[in-house]
Each structure stands twice: as structure tokens, then as C-alpha cells.
Chain A
Amino acid sequence: MAVIQFTTNLKRFYPDLNAIEIDAKTVAELIQKVDLKFPGLKDYVVDEQGKLRKHVNIFIGNNMIKDRETLLDTITEKDEIYIMQALSGG
């Protein structure tokens, strides 16, 4: 199962948030499954059309995902996924 790491900034809203393992084939599926464990978290990461929010980045390993619109980048069970807050404002 892929391991997901979260920016610590999300812990302000989800104090119990820690790295978790999830079985998913795409980033979109992974986000859906994260939301089952932490209800509402999906809305922090993507908008209502499923698009990654402007100032949020998701990395698979060291690579930023390519599909920010539908999150169809594929993942494998060995991947480590990072949900990060993009730098903005310098």
C-alpha cells in the first residue's frame, strides 16, 4: 500500500492526522479514501470539481503530479505520496 505523508499545516484542522497507508491506483482514488478516514479533508485538497487547489501540491516520490485537473496520475503500492502546501507569498 502507498504511504501518504501530509504537510503539518493540515494538522491544525485535523490534529490526528499522521502518515497513513492506503491502497489506491490513482491520486484521485487515494484522495477519496483519505476522506473516508478524515471526513472533509478532501475539501481542503481539491475543489468541488475534483481539481487540486491552486496552492496545494501532491508529490509521488520526488515528482509533482502532472494531472492537477482530474488527479489521474497512477501510483503503485511502493510509492510514497506527499500532500504539501505550496509556497506562496515568498
Chain B
Amino acid sequence: MLGTRKGLAVFEKGPQGNYLQTQMHFLGIPVSIAAVDERNGTWWALLDHGHWGCKVHKSTDEGKTWKELESPKYPEGEEIKDGVPASVKYLWAFAHGGKDRPEELFLGSEPGGLFHSKDQGTSFQLNRGLWEHPSRKEQWFGGGRDFPGIHSIIVDPRDSDHIFVGISCAGVFESRDGGTNWIPKNKGLKADFLPDANSEIGQDPHLLVASKNHPDYLWQQNHCGIFKSENGGELWEEVGQKAGEGPANFGFAIAVDENKPEVAWVVPANSDQIRVAVDGALCVCRTDDGGKTWKDFRKGLPQENCFDIVFRHALDKSGETLAFGTTTGNLYLSDDYGESWKSLSNNMPMIYSVEFY
């Protein structure tokens, strides 16, 4: 399932093993996130109408029908900063609230609010604990977007009260009490764009992920490199390649193996200023040893005159299969842990999110 600049697309594997696009919804409307709730199979589409605001739709019949829900709202009087009223600018993350809480959902938004639903999206409430964190008004800021945004939400499968969020730019925050209290978890990260690169607040994780079966093993593709934490974010270690070693450093997307948490994939891009494929060639890098070494895989991917990069939610993994979509509308799939790739489409709109279901 893809969220694209021009709608939600579904590809399905046919009887011959080839993937075909079988559905298109919301044609012409940007879909920032297309997601499936693994607990009940409900499809979710987070829309970003250029004119009419951000909307939330869900389908309980695999796209046959969709229902628009009331979008999350910042309460009257809330401010991004003093004198700047808060309103939803973008819906940037979706997560279910835990298998033991079947009615609960979370949405992440720009300008920095985490929204929580306890009724399958019929209503959303702003999470007060994070919104009122003392660092927010003074130390959070926009990175790539005008205002700070929550793009990553991880609910610990062992304990639904244990939640991580990733915010650009603020960093990683953790709650152990269901979202009442939040503490930053950014030790070991670096922010080259700040006067104090080691600042606890103001880091820019582009995407935060956890190994599903080893949830204390976290990875993040950060604006300033690739980082991992083996202790639930207590300490981060930079594990990307340095200049001259290889391309695994800057990028947006990252995926981690659910059973082998030391195995992770990234899709590198060229520096934060240029933002195209490294040396005009697209590759996927994988580490099998927790980031000590990286190998770049290029088979089946364009190796010259290529400008594609991969947005943060546009890489996903299911078993041995990985897929990613690019900014220039190319969709690639690998059936061998990312070692070789085949193109599924070269004519898609800009791709924002990719998810297996």
C-alpha cells in the first residue's frame, strides 16, 4: 500500500508472482500516510488536501468503501509558539495503541502534537503530556517543514504504556506511563546544525524504528547520520559510514529486522543540501552486525543519472521482502533481504509511504 502525492495505491502479488497495481483511491489528493492496522485489518489514509486541510479516512472493507472521520484538532487557544495559534498542518505518523487496547490509535502531526484516540478514530484528543513538555515552545523547531512534526510513534509490544516518539526537530521522547510524562532520550546523538551538537533537545531523527521482537533495540536515520541504541534509547551510538567509507550516512528511511535487531537497511541520499541519489546511483545499504559494517546493494537499481531519494516512511519490510518508493515515482521490490531489486513501476507520483499488509 502506497501513500502518494496523487492518492493511495495498492499493489498486489498476482498468481505468477508479479505485482500489479489493483486499486487507486483519493485520486489527485496527497496521502501523507497509508497504513493498515495489523490488529483488525482496517485501512487508514491520512490526507493532506492542499486547499481543504488534513483529513482522516478509514476503510474496514479493504478499500471498497471509505469513511471520513472528524480530523484531530488542536483545542482553542493552543499555540505553537507565543502568539502563533496551533492548527494541524500535516498528519505525519500513524500507530495503533497496542494489541491489548484494540480501540486505541495515535497520530503524529505538525506542529508537534500527538493525538490519541480511544474509539478507533471517532474522536482524537491532544496528548497533553507531550504538548506541555517544557522544552516544546522554546526548543522545538521545524526541520524540512515549517514547524516541528511527529513522524515516528513506537508503542512497545510488551507494554502499551511504553511509547517512543520521534520529532523533527526535537529528538526522541519516551513515556512509560501511557503518555502522561515524557522524557527526552537523545544522549549520544549529534546535531551539527546546533551550536551545541550534543544538546538534549533539538536533534533531528528522520525516522525512529524498533525491532518488533527486540523492542529495546532502536535505530534511527538521523539528519546527521545513522544511530542505534541497544538499551531503549538510554544511549545512542553513531554507526553510519564516514566520508570515503561508503554511502550509508545521510538519508530518511530506515528498516530493521524483527528477529535480528542488528540487521538494518537504509537508502542513502547525497548530503542534506543536495538531496539526490549518491553519485547519481541508487543503492540500498544493509548492515548485518549492528552497524559495524555496511554493504551496498545495487542490482536492479539505476546506476547513472538517477535523482531518486526515499522519504522516511517509504521503505518497508515483510519477511524476506522489502519495498521502497521514491520521490520520482519509482517503486522497487526485493525478495532477498534487499540484495537485488526489481522495478514494479516507474510512473507513480511522488511516493510518501510504503507499507506491506
Contacts and interface: CB of A to CB of B under 8 A. Distances in A.
Contact of B50 (A43, A45, A47, A55): A55
B53 A47 contact: yes
Contacts of A40: 68, 70
A47 B88 contact: yes
Interface string A19-58: 0000000000000000000001001110111010101100
B76 interface: yes
User: Main SS of the interface on chain A?
Assistant: loop
Interface string A60-90: 0000000000000000000000000110110
Contact of A48 (B49, B68, B73): B73
A55 B57 CA distance: 22
Interface string B65-80: 0001011011110000
Contacts of B70: 40, 43
User: Main SS of the interface on chain B?
Assistant: loop
Contacts of A13: 52, 68
How extensive is the interface on chain B, given as a class? 10 to 19
B50 A44 contact: no
A86 B51 contact: yes
Nearest to B74: A48
Contact of B87 (A9, A10, A45, A48): A48
A53 B52 contact: yes
Given A40-B68, A47-B88, A49-B87, A55 B51 contact: yes
Interface of A: 9-10, 13, 40, 43-45, 47-49, 51, 53, 55-56, 85-86, 88-89
